[in-house]
């Protein structure tokens, strides 16, 4: 057999560990040929953007961040941007992808990605392509799996950053605001905030009131704590407000909404209302970079080999998922049906409230 592997969407730690696991398992156990599809689906649109992967090619990449195959979140073949008569327009070129899949002589395609990549993969499966999915996203928002590749590392980076900010916040008597990624899910903010001993956690699932945030900070000051740390998810929403989108989908043709700016906005509000000096730290792509944690290396390796076995058993249209401590397969349609969000009454949220952390509600 000849199988392809592609990494799509935003990069994250652990992608190279997946590429390595798939390549080694396919070659050593099955004697298959492995073709790396470069830059997400772009390698199936332009077939010159592919590379045969050998055992030598994946040597030394287990602990390497990013992806040696490259990636993009703008290569949706169902909404592909092309230039016609000097203008950019969106076209469905999915038939080209299907044709190129067969032109390359592929028998199966393993897609490593989040909800966007898996959704595209499912639509390609409906068009006849034999697809197997592997979940990765630092947002940890895929419904059908308990964990995604990249989340553990991103969480550890956020916690480390918060730990470092405690000392400068205390020294300068400031109200620091830390903006983290996560899009419309608050997993990074919630768990990093709880693990990092912050004072306030603001997540998309619980709209917040600026006044209540400022009141909580002032109460801390009244009780003798002259500094505070607030962790806010990039998709957090003020009560009655909206996501702080800095580039809309209309402006970013064929792309996705970019969230950001909520941290700086909140920091300004704190200075004006609470009358305390405030600074904002946006972690941004730092959460995506660098070597994967040991947990992500293990999860990526396990999921990669499991996906190869799924291909062997022709379990197409399905995705690897972690349930508890065991791996199993689920329908991709189930994985992308809804975004996995934080429940307001979850044990983690309640634990945070019990120790005095405010959610601004």
Q: In what order do the strands lie in the sheet with 318-323?
A: 50-53, 33-37, 2-7, 108-113, 131-135, 318-323, 326-331
The b/e string for 168-202 (b: 16+ C-beta within 10 A; e otherwise) is ebeeeebbbbbbbbbbbbbbbbbbbbbebebbbbb
For tokens 């990669």, name the residue: 304
Q: Report the 10 Å Cβ neighbour count for 243.
A: 18
- CB-based contacts of 86, cutoff 8 Å, min separation 6: none
- Indicate left, alpha or beta for 211 from its phi (over 0: left) and psi (-120 to 50: alpha): alpha
Q: Which of 39, 115, 139, 199 is catalytic?
A: 139
Q: What are the DSSP calls for 175-219, one per residue?
A: EEEEEE--TT--HHHHHHHHHTT-SEEE-TTS-B-HHHHHHHHHH
Question: Environment class of residue 15 by beta-carbon count within 10 Å: exposed (0-12), middle (13-18) or buried (19+)?
Answer: buried
Please say if 361 is a catalytic residue. Answer: no
Q: How far is CA 7 from CA 25, 121, 340, in A?
A: 17, 12, 21
Ramachandran angles phi, psi of 44, nearest 5°: -100, -5
Contact yes or no for 262/232 (Cβ under 8 A): yes
Active site residues: 139
């Amino acid at each position: 057999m000849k199988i392809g592997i592609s990494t799509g969407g935003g990069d994250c730690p652990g992608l190279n560990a997946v590429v390595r696991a798939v390549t080694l398992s396919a070659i050593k156990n099955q004697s298959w040929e492995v073709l790396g599809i470069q830059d997400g689906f772009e390698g199936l649109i332009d077939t010159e953007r592919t590379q045969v992967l050998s055992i030598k090619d994946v040597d030394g990449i287990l602990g390497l961040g990013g992806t040696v195959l490259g990636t993009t979140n703008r290569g949706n073949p169902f909404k592909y941007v092309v230039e016609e008569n000097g203008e950019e327009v969106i076209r469905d070129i999915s038939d080209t992808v299907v044709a190129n899949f067969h032109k390359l002589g592929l028998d199966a395609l393993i897609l490593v990605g989040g909800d966007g990549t898996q959704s595209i993969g499912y639509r390609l499966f409906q068009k006849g392509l034999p697809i197997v999915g592997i979940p990765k996203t630092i947002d940890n928002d895929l419904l059908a799996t308990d964990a995604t590749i990249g989340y553990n590392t991103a969480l550890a980076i956020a916690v480390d950053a918060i730990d470092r900010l405690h000392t400068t916040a205390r020294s300068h008597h400031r109200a620091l605001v830390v903006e983290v990624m996560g899009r419309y899910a608050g997993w990074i903010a919630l768990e990093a905030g709880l693990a990092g001993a912050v004072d306030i956690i603001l997540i998309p699932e619980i709209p917040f009131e600026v006044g209540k945030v400022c009141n909580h900070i002032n109460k801390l000051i009244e009780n003798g704590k002259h500094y505070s740390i607030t962790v806010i998810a990039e998709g957090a929403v003020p009560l009655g407000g909206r996501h702080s989108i800095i580039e809309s989908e209309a402006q970013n043709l064929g792309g996705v909404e970019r969230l950001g700016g909520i941290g700086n906005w909140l920091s300004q509000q704190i200075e004006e209302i609470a009358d305390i000096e405030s600074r904002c730290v946006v972690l941004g792509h730092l959460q995506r970079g660098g070597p994967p944690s040991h947990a992500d290396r293990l999860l990526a390796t396990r999921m990669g080999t499991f996906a190869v076995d799924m291909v062997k058993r022709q379990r197409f249209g399905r995705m690897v998922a972690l349930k508890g401590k065991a791996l199993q397969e689920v329908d991709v349609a189930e994985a992308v049906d809804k975004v996995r969000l934080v429940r307001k009454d979850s044990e983690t949220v309640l634990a945070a409230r019990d120790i005095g952390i405010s959610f601004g509600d």
